[in-house]
Amino acid sequence: MSQIQTWTLIFIVASFSVYLYIAWRSRVKETAGFYVAGQGIPTIANGAAVAADWMSAASFISMAGLIAFLGSDGTIYLMGWTGGYVLLALLIAPYLRKWGKFTVPEFVGDRYSETVRTIAAVAAIIISFTYVVGQMRGGGIVFSRFLKLDVTQGVILAAVIIGLYAVLGGMKGITWTQVAQYTVLITAYLIPAIAVAQQMTGIPIPQVSFGQILAELDAISIEMGLNQYTEAFAARPQIDVFLVTMALMIGTAGLPHVIVRFYTTKSVRGARYSAFWALFFIALLYTTAPAVGAFTKLNLLQDVNGISANALPSWIDNWAATGLVTVSDGAQTINSVSNSPTSGADLIVNNDILVLASPEIAGLPAPIVGLVAAGGMAAAMSTAAGLLLVISSSFSHDLYFRRVKRDSTDKQRLLAGRIAMGLAVLISIYAGINPPAFVAQVVAFAFGLAAASFFPAIVLGIFWKRCNATGAAAGMVTGMAFTATYMIYTLPVFGTAANPHIFDISPEGIGTIGAIVNFVVTIVVSKMTAPPSDEIVEMVENIRYPSARREVTAGTAAD
């Protein structure tokens, strides 16, 4: 066993032991503990848990890789996800926390109707399932490289471990586990970034020092047939950059697994403060990602430029075993690098390996390589657990309890939720083995679906009292169907061939158009049908204003 494997096993076994111990100690027997941790999580701890939930395998494993190959266009992920979190924290989370319900479907059910609740529950399951596929894939990549498994075996192992502690501990166990996972993932991300920054520039602050290498990176990128790294709109059309950024932003504000985090605090004030702490914890990684992408890209290109295909560095051989790095047949020397198998380049490097391979490419010691592997698994596990819980709660609380068995006991609902979670794990194994795109792109699809379904219903439900159940139902179904249809049309899923993008709009950006469709349909249908009842109007007033303010605004139900 190599030193890298040994250190990887040490870090993964140690961290997993901590996660499972926390899940066991925090196990619950009632729905309040299972779904919202009894609403007793301290503010800073909840902020760390939100950050861990937020920074999935897409953020840890794939985002810097996409930035490395997309260059400045890759900042769509930074701008969209960060801006979306601010939008969520300021515009939505405090109001939903004041409403005081377990799930997003429960909010729209109370605000609109039981039919809309059912639509929202189905949407939450679809969105969360799409998102969790990326996490399973990310976990599989970690295991496949560092434990010498193929990707299929890695995905299965990751899914079993994630499912085990998510089913065991519910939200209470997941929250405290995510605090530990955030500690692991941010340590694993920052240490190699600082080491590489010191190695390449002499300044151990990656956020500051990576600017020194951009001119060199531009030059070698052009030499090897790639776009200039700092050139805007070289990898994506300008319209698509805007649409993807917007879809990620408003999709963020509609993601059920993140919104539910703000139910776990002790008060509305606690929800606001935990949002601040989460933004701080998120910024530590997100301000480092561009530097990781640039450093790794330059190291990679310098490592392989002009080298004989028979004398490649050891990291390529290590990753080639996973099938995520390939050398083109017949290549004598490496003169071109790409992340696309159809590009004809001499060396094909999957986006999703760059962060995990970065310490090896930079020649850092084996313990740091092993630490990064543990961080990648922490990122994948923390988000996947929250997503599985959304699937569980949407099925058991919003479908089983509301539509099938209204007299079900807490025990029966917990059992139904855990069964749903287990089935989601099994199905996501297949999808994780056969993903439609890179990890960050798969996650972006989930954001697009959330943008087209939840965001308009939540925003209009809070800020437009005239919005009614008929309009919300029509808007959610139309927006979701439109967005999903376009994604299926442009992606090789369900056995279909990929088709060209219409008007240069990628499947990651179509959620913005879907949200506009949702808004228009909801507003038009609401205007054409009866207004909501006085009781609903009073509920909206209650979450928007204090009692004194409501007295002043009484009688404005039709605005």
Where residue 126 sits, what CATH number does that domain have?
Answer: 1.20.1730.10
Q: Rounded CA gap, 530 and 523, in Å?
A: 12
Give yes or no for a contact between 109 and 398, defined as CB atoms under 8 angstroms apart: yes
Summarised one tens digit per residue, pLDDT across range 376-429 is 888 877 777 777 777 777 777 677 777 777 777 777 877 887 788 788 888 888
Write down the pLDDT at residue 548: 47
Q: Rounded CA gap, 197 and 291, in Å?
A: 8
Residue 37 reports pLDDT greater than 60: no
Write down the pLDDT at residue 487: 94
CB count within 10 Å of CB 269 equals 12
Give yes or no for a contact between 476 and 453, defined as CB atoms under 8 angstroms apart: yes
Q: Rounded CA gap, 59 and 243, in Å?
A: 19
Classify 347 in phi/psi space as left (phi over 0), alpha (psi -120 to 50) or beta: beta
Mean pLDDT, rounded, of the chain: 83
Write down the pLDDT at residue 113: 92
Write down the pLDDT at residue 150: 81
420 occurs within a structural domain: yes
Q: Rounded CA gap, 552 and 537, in Å?
A: 14
307 occurs within a structural domain: no
Write down the pLDDT at residue 129: 84
Query: What long-range pairs does 166-169 form, CB within 8 A, spacing at least 24?
Result: 166/384, 166/385, 166/388, 166/389, 166/421, 167/388, 167/418, 167/421, 167/422, 168/23, 168/24, 168/27, 169/22, 169/23, 169/24, 169/26, 169/27, 169/28
523 occurs within a structural domain: no
Residue of 392, 345, 459 whose CA lies nearest to 174: 392
Write down the pLDDT at residue 96: 74
Output the pTM of the full model: 0.85
Summarised one tens digit per residue, pLDDT across range 417-430 is 778 878 888 888 88
462 occurs within a structural domain: no
66 occurs within a structural domain: yes
Residue 40 reports pLDDT greater than 60: no
Tell me the residue range of the domain where 87 lies: 3-296+364-447
| Tally of domains within the chain | 1
Q: Once rounded to an integer, what is the mean pLDDT over residues 96-109? A: 73
Phi, psi at 348, each rounded to 5°: -110, 120
Q: Rounded CA gap, 300 and 359, in Å?
A: 11
39 occurs within a structural domain: yes
The three state secondary structure string of 351-383 is: HHHHHHHHHHHCCCCHHHHHHHHHHHHHHHHHH
138 occurs within a structural domain: yes
What does each C-alpha distance from 115 to 90, 391, 403, 532 come to in angstroms?
28, 18, 10, 15
525 occurs within a structural domain: no
Phi, psi at 326, each rounded to 5°: -135, 145
